[in-house]
């Protein structure tokens, strides 16, 4: 019995079988539905798409046409329930918070006078005269603007006045001068906590404990950790969903590329040929869309995976 198929048809059939063996998921493309019907007509069974064990792994059990994009999530703070007890309204910065001149050449006399002002300021702070203490710290800063300790201690005083933004500004300057100032991390972390900036608070308080552990800093860290973890878990979940969405979009592109390739191949097979066996003028299908898809690096990667 002679084979009823031409060599070209046999080559095409073999190519389809080779692709299906290397990537069984292609059998579920709409264009290849006839193969599933053929296999099942002999009592065979083709596994569902999600049960395919080889070929590209797409973390989805949906066909592209069934996919509905999930709404974009808003900021984590708007969707996570926080215990906001103890938070305050942010304070406005003013020009009275003098930061000194960093370029000033500080003399030994300036350092000595600044030290005296600091001691006096600490005394006023202990007495509860916070406003006077801040003025004295400011005078000391103007004498020695290169002292991280002066900025950190004035930040502490602002914190006692419930001015977290002023505290953050001072402690940030202190850390610019000395990146290992545990005092600056401690009070800036507490200021962030008052503003409900849980992640920043936890980060600063944790760093303060790493540099110079003390019980109060550790207690403040324990206080902010639950809310900080909620944000971290929410961000991880948001990132995971974003990656899943990217995988679905990549799957759609791959299916579109394969569909275009299959359609173009079929159109070429249907083109009438001239006497020399070449397509007649005007008979070649437009391959522009297919080649555009192949320029997509994700599509090329997907094709390489399916072949390997």
pLDDT at 258: 72
pLDDT at 285: 43
**Structure letter (DSSP) for residue 4:** S
Interhelix angle for 108-127 vs 148-160, to 10°?
20
**Structure letter (DSSP) for residue 273:** B
Task: Walk along the chain (308 residues) and give the pLDDT tens digit of each residue.
Answer: 667 767 776 677 777 777 777 677 666 777 677 777 777 777 777 777 655 544 444 333 444 444 444 444 444 444 667 677 888 999 998 788 999 998 899 999 999 999 999 999 999 999 999 999 999 999 999 999 999 999 999 999 999 999 999 999 999 999 999 999 999 999 999 999 999 999 999 999 999 999 999 999 999 999 999 888 888 776 777 777 777 777 777 777 777 777 777 776 776 666 565 544 445 444 444 445 545 555 556 555 555 544 44
pLDDT at 116: 97
Overall pTM > 0.85: no
pLDDT at 80: 64
Neighbours of 26 (CB within 10 A): 22
Neighbours of 224 (CB within 10 A): 25
Whether the CB-CB separation of 75 and 199 falls below 8 Å is answered with no
Burial of 80 (0-12, 13-18, 19+ CB in 10 A): middle
**Structure letter (DSSP) for residue 161:** T
Cα–Cα distance between 164 and 6 in angstroms, integer? 83
Cα–Cα distance between 63 and 31 in angstroms, integer? 14
pLDDT at 238: 72
Strand segments, DSSP code E, in the chain are none
> Which one, of 160, 151, 155, lies nearest residue 130 by Cα?
160
Buried b (16+ CB within 10 A) or exposed e, 148-161: bbbbbbbbbbbbee
Neighbours of 102 (CB within 10 A): 10
């Amino acid at each position: 019995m002679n084979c009823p198929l031409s060599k070209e048809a046999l080559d095409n059939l073999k190519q389809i079988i080779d692709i299906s063996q290397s990537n069984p998921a292609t059998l579920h493309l709409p264009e290849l539905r006839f193969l599933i019907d053929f296999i099942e007509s002999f009592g065979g069974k083709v596994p569902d798409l999600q049960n395919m064990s080889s070929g590209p792994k797409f973390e989805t059990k949906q066909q592209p046409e069934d996919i509905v994009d999930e709404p974009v999530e808003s900021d984590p703070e708007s969707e996570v329930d926080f215990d906001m007890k103890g938070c305050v309204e942010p304070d406005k910065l003013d020009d009275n918070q003098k930061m000194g001149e960093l370029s000033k050449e500080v003399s030994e006399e300036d350092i000595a006078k600044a030290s005296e002002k600091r001691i006096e300021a600490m005394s006023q702070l202990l007495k509860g005269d916070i406003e006077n203490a801040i003025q004295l710290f400011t005078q000391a800063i103007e004498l020695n603007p290169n002292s991280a300790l002066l900025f950190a201690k004035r930040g502490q005083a602002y914190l006692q006045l419930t001015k977290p933004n002023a505290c953050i500004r001072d402690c940030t300057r202190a850390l610019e001068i000395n990146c290992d100032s545990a005092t600056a991390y401690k009070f800036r972390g507490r200021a962030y906590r008052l503003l409900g900036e849980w992640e920043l608070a936890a980060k600063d308080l944790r760093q303060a404990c790493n540099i110079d552990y003390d019980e109060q800093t550790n207690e403040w860290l324990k206080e902010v950790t639950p809310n900080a973890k909620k944000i971290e878990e929410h961000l991880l979940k948001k990132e995971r969903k974003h990656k899943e969405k990217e995988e679905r979009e990549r799957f759609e592109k791959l299916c579109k590329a394969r569909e275009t390739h299959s359609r173009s191949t079929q159109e070429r097979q249907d083109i009438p040929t001239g006497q020399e066996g070449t397509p007649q003028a005007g008979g070649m299908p437009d391959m522009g869309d297919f080649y555009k898809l192949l320029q997509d690096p994700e599509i090329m990667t997907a094709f390489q995976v399916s072949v390997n």
